[in-house]
Structure 1
Amino acid sequence: MKLSKTDRKLRIRRRIRKISFGTEARPRLSVFRSNKEIYAQLIDDNKGVTLAAASSRDKGIDAKGTKSDIAASVGKAIAEKAQKLGIEAVSFDRGGNLYHGRVKSLAEGAREAGLKF
């Protein structure tokens, strides 16, 4: 029996979460992508807390251009927040999405701003 699109994405998400785990020194950079917006969080899985978050809905994000351009600016914003917290390296969690398009743009934006993963 064929999996539905949501079941397939959930299966991929669970497989990724087995591998990526966030600590205080190296938190997990979790990405959620909806049809209109994109969100990124730095999560410490040991304590179960979100250290920092950025999204395309934030006021400091440049909301002009394509969705990929906006995702890149979200990546830069989360990287700046991470550097203020003294975080240099993260574990990337693409959230069941393909590493392509907006997810890739967010990751490249974060790398440009100084995050390592």
Structure 2
Amino acid sequence: MSKLLQRQKIRYRIRKKVAGTATSPRLAVFRSNAEIYAQLIDDENGVTLAAASSRDKDIAAQKVTKVEKAKLVGSSVAQKATALGLTACVFDRGGNLYHGRVKAVADGAREGGLQF
């Protein structure tokens, strides 16, 4: 079984258990080789409430490591969530290991005020 199929199976298994609501959206993380993206998703209505990525101008302009950029993405999405009045969410690691950049997004979101 290839790495992509294994990760897809893990994603399906996670999504069976993790679902976001309007009051507690799902913080979905997508990690590519170069960039990282985070979204707050209300699965009941199928709406993205807030999003941030390492390609945003304020984050991309900084000359830091990919892990530090991931932490900035987490704090940016947390800042947008608190502006919407959200304080709680559920974390969806997207089939990736909770390590490195994915963990940095979670840490940045926690420091920004999100609870999960």
TM-score by length of 1: 0.96
- C-alpha contact 1:75 1:108 (8 A) present in aligned 2: yes
- C-alpha contact 1:56 1:63 (8 A) present in aligned 2: no
Paired residue total: 115
1:23 pairs with one of 21, 24, 31: 21
- C-alpha contact 1:80 1:113 (8 A) present in aligned 2: yes
CA distance in 2, matches of 1:113, 1:79: 5
Unaligned stretches of 5+ in structure 1?
A: none
The equivalent residue for 1:87 is 86
Moved over 3 A (4+): none
1:37 pairs with one of 35, 39, 43: 35
SS at match of 2:78: helix
Cα RMSD (Å) of the superposition? 0.8
The amino acid of 1:90's aligned partner reads: C
- Please give the residue correspondences for 1:34-113 in structure 2 after superposition, counting only pairs within 5 Å: 34-61=32-59, 63-113=62-112
CA distance in 1, matches of 2:48, 2:56: 16
Following TM superposition, by how much is the alpha carbon of 1:63 offset from its aligned partner in structure 2, in angstroms?
3.1
The amino acid of 1:51's aligned partner reads: L
Unaligned stretches of 5+ in structure 2?
A: none
CA distance in 2, matches of 1:113, 1:52: 14
